[in-house]
Amino acid sequence: MSRTFKIGYPVNFRKAKLPSKKKLVGNYTVLEPLQIKKHSIALFKSFSKDKSKDIWSYMHYGPFKNLKTFVIYLKKHCLKKNPFFYAIYLKRFNSFCGLASYLRIKPDIGVIEVGWITYAPILQKTLEGTEAMYLMMKNVFDDLGYRRYEWKCDNLNLQSKKAALRLGFKYEGLFRQATIYKKRNRDTAWFSIIDKEWKRYKKGYSQYLKKSNFNLKFIQKKKLKLT
């Protein structure tokens, strides 16, 4: 007697695109592919305003004592095609205040991750911080054609986990003792958004990011709601 096994549903999927060097432009932010000469000084100044150095606590590298060591870090880790880094420009402050990247890029199966997110204090918990993540998400699904968008972080990084859930990522589980960095253990929390969810989320992001949803001090009137 033959046995019947369940298998996955058929997928008619065309290969996704690799991130390109085009800018991602929003109402409040612009994400530019990282260039050392153009972005390093402004980024270092913005990051240096974090006197506690907390922004580097869950990063594999940093903090950096001076511009020279920061540039060495950028050159060694942030100029590759995978990960693919953006410098985040805030229009209202006329400055570059953050970094974020695509990584673990797998166009053949339509999977890509967002990571290495580094926000200067002036960018944290802001409208612009949300829009930057929205622009990367929109690019992934609408322009590059991916099926799955991942977010991973140290399980002890409560702010990152809270941000992932707020932005619509679904918690998928914990990879115990997944890696070692800065001579310490990391249990990695996994989150994701898939293409069919993004189709629902777009409306929520569009409503939230309207200029009418913010007062003159850029404080939100209604919270981000994703259905």
Which ranges constitute the DSSP H helices of the chain?
A: 36-48, 67-77, 127-138, 158-166, 195-208
Range of the domain at 86: 24-213
Chain mean position to CA 114: 4
Mean pLDDT of the 119-125 span = 97
Residue 127 domain-assigned?
Answer: yes
Residue 8 domain-assigned?
Answer: no
Residue 73 domain-assigned?
Answer: yes
Quick one: pLDDT band at residue 201, thresholds 50, 70, 90? very high
Mean pLDDT of the 56-62 span = 97
Quick one: pLDDT band at residue 1, thresholds 50, 70, 90? low
3-state DSSP: the chain helix, strand, coil percent, rounded to 5? 30, 30, 40
Residue 32 domain-assigned?
Answer: yes
Structure confidence by residue, pLDDT tens digits, 71-105: 999 999 999 999 999 999 999 999 999 999 999 99
- CATH code of the domain in which 165 resides: 3.40.630.30
Residue 97 domain-assigned?
Answer: yes
Structure confidence by residue, pLDDT tens digits, 6-54: 999 999 999 999 999 999 999 999 999 999 999 999 999 999 999 999 9
Residue 115 domain-assigned?
Answer: yes
Mean pLDDT of the 57-64 span = 97
Instruction: Please give the share of the chain, as a percent, with pLDDT higher than 90.
Output: 97
Asked if the model's pLDDT at residue 116 lies above 80, the reply is yes
Residue 172 domain-assigned?
Answer: yes
